[in-house]
A = this chain, B = another copy of it.
Amino acid sequence: MNQVKKYLTKNQRHFVLDLCEYLRFPSVSADGNKDGLNHCARWLVEHCRRIGLQAELCKTKGNPIVIARTPGHRSNGKPHYLVYGHYDVQPPDPLNLWKTSPFHPRLVGHSLFARGASDNKGQHFAHLKAIEAYLKTGTELPCNVTFLIEGEEEIGSPSMAAFLRKNRTKLRCESVVISDTALYGLEHPTLSYGLRGVCGLEIVLHGPSRDVHSGMFGGAIENPAMALCRLLSRLRDENGRITIPGFYNDVLELSPFERAAFECRPFNANEYKASLGVPDLFGEAGFTPIEQTSARPTLEVNGLTSGYQGDGGKTIIPSWARAKITMRLVPHQTPRKMLALTIAHLKKICPSTVRMEIVEEHGGGEPYLLSPESAKIRTALEVLRTVFGHEPLLVREGGSIPVVNDFKRILNADSLLLGLALPDDNAHSPNEKFNLEVFAKGILMSAHLWQQLSSAERTSTI
């Protein structure tokens, strides 16, 4: 390990430069920029090969998946871990809010600004660099590691399940390690034992066959924008509760152990409000903001479009109005059932004066929950304690990593969620960044992790 650590210290600057190269690709999956995605994936394969991994680009029905394995894999009988990540990124817009171009990485202090910097390129890159240190210094790895980096996470990982099923034997592993969640500060290393699920849909309400003059026709026909507003406003009550019948039926209530663990997470409402710039907090009555954002389901409108959006005014009744909606789910809600309940409710409350079109989003992900008191969790907590020198937090993550459930279902593997994204890293927002001190700690964490996990594995098999 000394050689590994020395290599890491010496090469930190190179690692940042490598990461900058990686961040230059506009690998946005939502808008189907195939060139940006393909070039990015090919660059990643080349990079993995350069650091000594056996890498290949695997075709799927969607964007390619990058697989990179440590050498000598088949024969050495060592435990096998998967590192999962994704090279696709969220759309960068609204572009005008970026201080510099989202695909031209910019370093300010310890912050590296770029779309994908923390979500997720920087985070899985930390693991790549840890393995690079082993390989380049000739230090023997106590395990086999396979990197599985996909290009469709931000659109719900539609190709992953089929890929895992097809490569089930090759990918069989002890655990999956994922860095795609939050770290609550360098003094608060964080382990997530749960994730919310996600599902989405798009509603379009159609009114008149064209935008019509609000003077000539206003008063006798429904305005689709107003009907949409009414429809959406009827999905949530004043206490922040979703009003879709049955929506909470499958929700697992928090245990006292969990509520106590959540209390350890530093939280200052005023700082939280200030960091987000909101005048006040709002959430489901009876729960703390930490509980609301990690262990309670939500329904959010992600986008609204209707009528005239340019400068000035246009006195029309719009022909149609559209909303993009996603829901965050918690155990034991399922995307399928929640979508069905939502659609049934929408159909029930949609007035006869407009025609509703519902576009169900592909993909979606189940929520995930690992016992917070399991052996693997304890090992990972020990690594965090050693590397960061602080007591780690045990949290449930508000975001979603849909494939975590595929790993469980198809590979029968649990996922260890060792997040490296600071709360102010602006994931999914303009001016996304990655903290380079966290990057360095993350690489060290990864280097230690393989030792500890493998050692725990050996102990448990004896």
Question: Which residue of chain B is the closest to A310 with respect to CB atoms?
Answer: B31
Q: State whether B283 touches A220 (Cβ < 8 A).
A: yes
Q: Mark A208-252, 1 if CB is under 8 A from B, else 0.
A: 111111111111111101101110111010001000000000000
- Is A286 an interface residue when CB atoms closer than 8 A count as contact? no
Q: A91-B314, A229-B301 are in contact. Are A397 and B215 (CB under 8 A)?
A: yes
Q: State whether A353 touches B212 (Cβ < 8 A).
A: no
Q: Mark A153-164, 1 if CB is under 8 A from B, else 0.
A: 011100000000
Q: State whether A233 touches B229 (Cβ < 8 A).
A: yes
Q: State whether A313 touches B302 (Cβ < 8 A).
A: yes
- Is A70 an interface residue when CB atoms closer than 8 A count as contact? no
Q: State whether B220 touches A281 (Cβ < 8 A).
A: yes
- Is A182 an interface residue when CB atoms closer than 8 A count as contact? yes
Q: State whether A216 touches B423 (Cβ < 8 A).
A: yes
- Complex CA–CA separation, A292 to B219 (angstroms): 5
Q: A residues touching B (Cβ–Cβ < 8 Å)?
A: 29-32, 90-91, 93-94, 97, 154-156, 182, 196, 198, 200, 202, 207-223, 225-226, 228-230, 232-234, 236, 240, 272, 276-284, 289, 292-294, 296, 298, 300-318, 321, 323-324, 326, 328, 351-355, 361, 397-400, 423, 426-431
17 new A-B contacts, CB < 8 A, other than A218-B328, A225-B302, are A91-B308, A155-B312, A156-B313, A207-B278, A209-B276, A210-B430, A213-B428, A214-B298, A215-B400, A216-B399, A216-B423, A218-B298, A219-B289, A219-B292, A222-B278, A304-B309, A314-B428
A-B contact pairs, 18 of them (CB 8 A): A32-B312, A91-B314, A94-B211, A155-B313, A210-B426, A214-B326, A214-B328, A218-B398, A219-B240, A219-B289, A219-B293, A220-B293, A221-B278, A279-B352, A282-B351, A301-B306, A302-B316, A316-B428
